[in-house]
Structure 1
Amino acid sequence: MAVEINESNFEAEVLQADIPVLVDFWASWCGPCRSIAPILDQLSEEYRGKAKICKVNVDMNQSLARQYQVMSIPNLVFFKNGKKVDQVVGFTAKTELAKKLDALL
Structure 2
Amino acid sequence: MVEVINDKNFEEKTQDGVTLTDFWATWCGPCRMQSPVVEQLDEEMGDKVHFTKMDIDENPNTPQGFGIMSIPTLLVKKDGAVVDTIVGYHSKEQLEKILNQYL
Q: 1:44 aligns with which of 42, 51, 56?
A: 42
Q: CA separation in 1, counterparts of 2:19 and 2:46? A: 11
Q: How many residues align?
A: 103
Tell me which residue corresponds to 2:71.
73
- Give, in whole Å, the separation in 1 of the partners of 2:71 and 2:46: 24
Q: 2:82 — aligned with what?
A: 84
Deviation for aligned residue 1:42: 0.5
**3-state SS of paired residue (2:41):** helix
Structure 1 position 9, deviation (Å)? 1.1
Q: Identity over the aligned pairs, expressed in percent? A: 41
Q: Separation in 1 of the partners of 2:46 and 2:39?
A: 11
When the two structures are superposed, what TM-score results if normalisation uses the length of structure 2? 0.96
Q: Provide runs of 4+ in structure 1 moved above 6 Å.
A: none
Corresponding residue number in structure 2 for 1:6: 6
Letter in 1 for 2:22: D
CA RMSD of aligned residues (A): 0.8
TM-score, L = length of structure 1: 0.94
Q: Partners in 2 of 1:22 and 1:48 — Cα distance?
A: 10
Offset of residue 38 of structure 1: 0.6
